[in-house]
Amino acid sequence: MLRWILGTRGSHGSAENRCAALCIGEEQPKNCYTELQVLRGHFDIVRFLVQIDDFRFASAGDDGMVLVWNVETGERLVELRAHTQQITALTAYTCTNSEKTLTALITASSDRVMCLWDADTGQRLRTMSNLQSSVKCVLVLDHLDVCLSGGNELCVWNRDFQLQCKTVHCRDSGITALVDLPKCYVAATIDKEIVIFKLNVSETEMSILAIRHLTDHQDTIRTLIRVNDDLFASGSHIGEVILWDTLDWTIQAYERILWEEPDREGQSEIKMGQQKRSEASIQHLHSDGERIVAAVGSGLFVYNTKMKTVVAYRKFAHDSDVLYTKLLHNGQVMSCSEDGSVRIWELQELPLPAEPASSGFFGLFSTIGRSSKHGSVQSKKLPEVSGLCSLELVGDLIGHSGAVQMFLSFGKRGVVTCSADHLLIVWKDGERESHLRSLALFLKLEEKGCL
């Protein structure tokens, strides 16, 4: 178990940290998102965004509506209305039949109804009502042509959405996350446990069976992701991150993140402990196969699964809890938070220890700490953290007036954010858009024969 003791400078230092995280200023040359488009349509908090294809995405939230948008034009393509209560899960998948390709959306809501939609036409293809509990997560297993839904019990549905089998009623807390594992295994999180289910598929029938309970987490598991073929990761409320092997479900690495307040250390242990827990809650994990980025309280850290070390971290990345984070295609990290902002971070190599710290890297150094202990800490750590980087804020996107729940990156086409202020915002590269408009203009001229 590895511990980081951060912020040895005390309260003054931490205030400075905050400042360093916040004050990027208005000059953001590396921030290419210079154009935005506000998409209105929802009446309540928008919680889910799902990419359908290269230019379409669906949004859903507490108003029970699912809207399908075109990211390029900002056009609302389809409205899916059936649910009477908030949406709890949203998944998109494409299934290729012999006749045609169906782009489908599966929605689940608190009204205990699951629906299957055609994303192209907006038609409701199937409705599963009278579920025993509301579904909190949906997983589509393409190779088996089945769909799993997790609520208080795990249900298996076939392509035509007929219930194949289900597990017994788990517990009141229910399944909150599902991950697909090799060899027809599925991992599900139920409160503090990860349960491995085996899906038996035979010609005639299917059955599902819980075969292992992993109980290494000490608190509620918040997030569960698949890292790569060999690993999957889970994060808990008190800052534990565990990497598991996908085949034998053994622990590959265990990290416990503690942001400690050194000033009050030893003074009020119990109270501190409580504070720490909420502060270090793993809100979200995302991986690009090699690195994992985790939203820890209002901070971020990046973990390298190969080196099994933390590559970079920032305790105060946002003013309040980070709700969602992602490694982008260009190596940048993006995070969104309850404070209504979206921030873009870049992983920058740290200068060699011999070099004096330039002001640009002030942020990181201050998080590590610059007290008298600082030198020794660093020299002690250096050999093992050779790949240590700093998370530098290169830009922030301000537009939402409520917590930003989630975002979706379309690469060059832009980023979509959804928020508690009922809005969706598409952030685009202004230069690119301008160029596209120019192209459209000349195309139109050409069509008219003016060229």
Partner 1 sequence: MIGSPDVVAFTKDDDYGDSYTDPCLVPEEFSVPLIPHANANPWLKTSYAKFSKDFILISEFSEQVGPQPLLTIPDDPKVCGTFDLNYFSLRIMSVDYQASFVGHPPGTSYPKLNFVEDSKVVLGDSKEGAFAYVHHLTLYDLEARGFVRPFCMAYISADERKIMQQFQLLSSGFSRASECLKSGNRKAFANELEKKLRDLEYTRSVLHKETELQKTNSGCYSTQVIEKANELANVEKSIYEHKDLLRQITSYPNSKRRDADQVQCEPEDRADTSTLDHTLSSNHSGNGDKHVEADSGNQHPSYTPQLIKAKSAKCFDKRLKTLEELCESNFFLQTMDQLNAIEKTFRGDLCFIYTSQVDRALLSKQKITSFLFESERDDEEEGSSRNFYDPTHTTHHVSSNFSGEPMNLESYTPYAERSQNKLVLETMEGPPESSTSDVTQETSEDANDTEMKGSFSSDRSIEAFINLSPANPEGFSRISTSVACTVTSSEEEGNVPSVAAAGKTPSSLEHESDLNHGEVFETGHLVQMDTACCMGQDGFIYEEPLPEPVQECCEDTVVKREPLSLLQRDPALQVDYVLGESTLTLPSPSMGLMLPELNPSSLSEEMVKMNVEDVSDNASYMSTSTSSDRAASPFTYGSPVTLKQKKKAGHSALRFIRQYPFAQQAIFCLLSGRTLVVLGADEGTVRKLVNALLIFVPNLGKYGETVQPWLSTSFQLSDLQRWKLIGLQRVVSPAGSSLLHSLSRYSRYIGILDCDNKTLRCPTYKGTLIGHMADHRTQIKRGSTYYLHVQSILTQLTAKAFLYTFCHHLHLPISTDQDANSVVQRRTNFLLQLGYTEEESKIIRFLSELIKQHYLQGPLKGVSQSYFSFSYTTSYLYKI
Residue in 1, 23, 26, 356 binding partner 1, rule: CB under 8 A: 26
* 40 contacts partner 1 (rule: CB under 8 A): yes
Please state whether beta strands 101-109 and 87-96 pair in parallel, antiparallel, or not at all (unpaired): antiparallel
Task: Report d(CA 246, CA 277) in Å as an integer.
Answer: 28
> Nearest 5°: phi and psi at 190?
-130, 105
Verify binding: residue 205, partner 1, rule CB under 8 A.
no
Rounded to a whole number of angstroms, the minimum distance from the CB of residue 440 to partner 1 is 6
Given candidates 136, 286, 291, 422, which one binds partner 1 under the rule CB under 8 A?
422
The answer to whether 23 contacts partner 1 (rule: CB under 8 A) is no
1, 29, 248, 270: residue in contact with partner 1 (rule CB under 8 A): 29
Q: Which residues pair with 33 in a beta bridge?
A: 429
The least distance separating partner 1 from the CB of residue 300, rounded to whole angstroms, comes to: 22
With contact defined as beta carbons under 8 Å apart, do 61 and 43 qualify? Answer: no
Near partner 1 in 371-400, by CB under 8 A: 395, 398-400
Of residues 270-329, which lie at the interface with partner 1 (CB under 8 A)? Answer: none
Q: Which is nearer to partner 1, 174 or 395 (CB)?
A: 395
- Quote the least distance from Cβ 46 to partner 1, whole Å: 11
- Segment interacting with partner 1 (CB under 8 A) among 208-216, 343-351, 352-360, 437-445: 437-445
356 binds partner 1 (CB under 8 A): no
Q: In what order do the strands lie in the sheet with 163-166?
A: 137-141, 146-150, 154-157, 163-166
Interface residue with partner 1 among 38, 247, 251, 382 (CB under 8 A) is 38
Per CB under 8 A, 35 contacts partner 1: yes
282/342 with CB nearer partner 1:
342
Alpha helices in 77-138 (DSSP H): none
Contacting residues toward partner 1, per CB under 8 A: 25-29, 31, 34-38, 40-43, 74-75, 395, 398-401, 422-423, 425, 428, 430, 433-435, 437-442, 444-445, 448-451
